Amino acid sequence: MSSVPSYENSCIAPAATGPSDVWLVGVSESNPGRLDAYIVNIADINTPSARFIATQVDTQRWSGLAQKGCYPFSNTMNEPNSPVLLQQFGSKSYTTNVYPNGTVAEGTNFVNYTFVSPTLFSLSSAVDGFNWYNAFSDQRSTTTNSRWMGIRWRPTWSLVSRGTFDNILSVYPTDRPLLSVGTFEPKASGTGSGYHTVFDSDGSGMAYSAVASPAPFNQSDDRILTLANPQKVDMSGITLTVRAIPITMSSVGYILDGASDDTTVVYSINPSKELKLRRVDALSDVVPFSTSMVASYVNTQIVVYTPSVKGKAIFNTFDTVTRKWSGPGLVKSQFTVSNDPDDTSGKIPIGAIIGGTVGGLVIIAIAVFLIVRHRRKTRSPGSLTEKEDADDNSAGTTPTQHGQQEQPHSTQLPPQALYYERPKVHRPQLLPQLLPQLQPQQEPEEFLHPSRRIKYDPHLFPPQHPHAIMYPDESFTLPSTLEPTAGQCCDNRPNVEVSDYPAYKQVTYSTSQQHPHSYFP
């Protein structure tokens, strides 16, 4: 066991030798053409240990400047000597299998085709010992005019043959891809199936169903990999960058990208359930993003290898279940809340808390407003009385004198117990022994006089109300009798009797109905 070596443009992948073992394959720039393979145990992520496996020196094939991708054979992971597929990209697009027993197959290439990048080389299906990939090439096919092609590979193959690749895919993704990611469910036999999701440089995404055939490629119409049913991906407002790194973890695809604060953000997509790209919020400190980092997976953990951090290579892991990063060099990130409102699994519902708080404050404010308004209505009848007095004055009725206020009459007012009790005003008692009890009347009665109209309203002066005292002006006098005027009917004219008292004159009005008495000084 030794410390972890540092390689630029390397690749990692899960190894069949143990649940915490990871392949690390790279070419040292100090030793051109030398391909080295290690298996690193990351059980203790802070102090991983590397075990050297194999090396191959070939300056014509292997380059430390070329990007690389490592891909496990999913259906043979239970075999101790299950290899890892190494694919190099660029002008030296060579392929080989590296085995745990130290064997490295001779590198081979696809004649007339070179592959662009590991971000455009997607594992889309796995059946028995086969793996199927969608690859983006530098060259267009003369048959399809597309740069996409299908590749089929298995652990025992070491040479490219007629049944290894096929340009015909039936449906072809964009010619301006940003990156692609494959997802699938491993199968022991039969026809393989999965998804090939391609994100365009314009910010959109399309998912294609992938059907993989393990049958021998004998006829011209035999197909290795067929794409169909393209569907648009909901990006959830996410914009991927050219630095993004795709990871295939069986049926779920993950993408690592650099945030604006140079930390690592994780996205996920599962086309078999929904065509939606989601952000996976970390519940811990995160890994700083580096353009030289490479990524893969082990079980349910995303594994990240960064070749040089303060002079040494390090590993970090992100648990997709607990959503926590582990390993050295973690930093704080300002991006801790998802921009996807639908992603509610295991995160604090900040939006719901804010919305509920605002909603509660609004409800409280409305309740306070209604209570205050209700109290003002029920405790301020004076405003209604003043308005009614003004209406009476405009209609020619006798206004109340000396500040005496009338009680408003409305069937919609609250019960009497809710009225505000006004302060009592002292008034002189005018011969109370002479004041008879007022009798309630159903309708107001009007008594005509040549110079004054006097109106009695039982609603304004109920039986329990104090006696009504009216004070006419000093110039007002009553004759002993009232004679009808010309053209005026006499049936409704009152008879007036006047008797003198030392200080008061009593005037009694009598009609066909009984009316209350009024006293005038």
Strands (E), 28-160: 34-41, 49-57, 68-72, 84-88, 94-98, 108-109, 121-127, 130-136, 148-153
Q: How far is CA 271 from the centre of its chain?
A: 21
Residue 164 CB contacts under 8 Å (≥ 6 apart), including other chains:
110, 151, 152, 153, 157
Phi, psi angles (nearest 5°) of residue 443: -130, 150
Which structural domain, as residue segments, surrounds residue 465?
429-521
In a domain, 485, yes or no: yes
Which of 74-78, 275-279, 488-492 shows the lowest per-residue confidence on average (mean pLDDT)?
A: 488-492
Number of structural domains found in the chain:
1
Strands (E), 244-335: 245-249, 252-258, 264-270, 274-280, 294-298, 301-309, 312-319, 324-326
pLDDT at 225: 93
In a domain, 452, yes or no: yes
| Segment 37-65 mean pLDDT | 97
pLDDT at 399: 42
pLDDT score of 252 more than 60: yes
Q: What is the mean pLDDT of the chain?
A: 78
pLDDT at 308: 83
| Segment 192-205 mean pLDDT | 97
The percent helix, strand, coil of the chain (3-state, each to 5) is: 10, 35, 55
Angle, CA of 68, 328 and 300, to the nearest 5°: 60
pLDDT score of 95 more than 60: yes
pLDDT at 510: 43
Going by C-alpha positions, the residue among 312, 348, 345 that lies closest to residue 327 is 312
In a domain, 406, yes or no: no
pLDDT at 336: 56
pLDDT at 366: 84
In a domain, 328, yes or no: no
pLDDT over 70 for what percent of the chain? 66
In a domain, 480, yes or no: yes
Edge-first strand listing for the sheet containing 245-249: 245-249, 252-258, 264-270, 274-280
In a domain, 248, yes or no: no
Q: Residue 262 — pLDDT band, cuts 50, 70, 90? A: very high
Q: Residue 400 — pLDDT band, cuts 50, 70, 90? A: very low
In a domain, 135, yes or no: no
In a domain, 218, yes or no: no
CA distance 121 to 100: 24
pTM (2 decimals)? 0.66
Tally the C-alpha atoms within 13 A of residue 481's C-alpha that lie toward its C-beta: 4
pLDDT over 90 for what percent of the chain? 52
**pLDDT tens per residue, range 350-396:** 444 566 666 777 788 887 778 877 776 665 554 444 444 444 444 44
